[in-house]
Amino acid sequence: MFLAELSWMEFKEKMGEIKVAVVPVASVEESGPYLPLGTDWLVAQELARRVAPREDVVVLPVIPFGYAPYHMDYPGTLSVEESAFRAYVLSICQSLIQWQMKRFVFINGHGGNRPILESISMELRKTHGAFGAIVQWWDLCSEIDPDWKTIGHGDAASISLMMNLRPDLVKTGTYDLSPLPLSKNMKPSFWTQTEFKGRKVDLFLKTSDFTAHGGFGFGKTKDRSEASPEKGEKILRATTDLIEGLIEELKSLQVS
């Protein structure tokens, strides 16, 4: 059920039935040349919508803004300071704890939020005896397509999701999504990891340090040609199944 659609009296009546709070969180940020700025929250919102019919969960409105400072070279990106984002989401969870909610599923649509959500989940467990679980759709991508083993950004997987959800927002054109070398011996594979002379080192970068258009992918074609709405539906279905199973398992955990 959607929290925002209940009156306070209806929520009070249902409090005893609700076992898990679902909190979709995301970002408004550049998502490469093919996708809109709202991609992350549109996907998180859809995943939350798919589990909302359950009577044993309450689904919160999506939190659309997240921690994305490494995208700030791209116009339209909005980034919330780490401390502010943590305090905001934690306060929401603490409010729900007052109303007997002690099991949380964070549907995270933006990778930059994860370390903060991990910190929040530990705080919930340590201070409130509550549980916080984090689900990210891209963790399942290699099950959908073996070529999607490494996380990209605005790549074929993300494009597939938006082709399924909002095909009208997927842009046309041909752009190379290959990551660019940082130097002669440094080849970034992610914002936090770079290959240096055949070895992996931690190096923290801005997106513009190693991309031409803000997106990067690791499939065969390095562009949007691997994307399809059918693949997008497979990702959504697999992630929904994981969330559904996680809800059932969390219900069995004893909270104090």
> What domains sit in the chain, N to C, each tagged with a CATH number?
3-149+232-251 (3.40.50.10310)
What is the per-residue burial (b if ≥16 Cβ within 10 Å, else e) of 78-113?
Answer: ebbebeebbeebbebbeebbeeebbbbbbbbbbbbb
3-class DSSP state of 167: helix
pTM: 0.94
Q: Which residues of the chain have pLDDT under 70?
A: 149-150, 218-223
What is residue 175's predicted lDDT score, i.e. its pLDDT? 87
What is residue 94's predicted lDDT score, i.e. its pLDDT? 98
What is residue 45's predicted lDDT score, i.e. its pLDDT? 98
- 10 Å Cβ neighbour count for 56? 13
Do the Cβ atoms of 225 and 147 come closer than 8 Å? Answer: no
Nearest to 225, CA basis, from 165, 176, 183: 176
What is residue 224's predicted lDDT score, i.e. its pLDDT? 73
Q: Distance (Å, rounded) from C-alpha 82 to C-alpha 79? A: 9
What is residue 73's predicted lDDT score, i.e. its pLDDT? 96
Q: Distance (Å, rounded) from C-alpha 105 to C-alpha 18? A: 13
Q: Distance (Å, rounded) from C-alpha 114 to C-alpha 103? A: 18
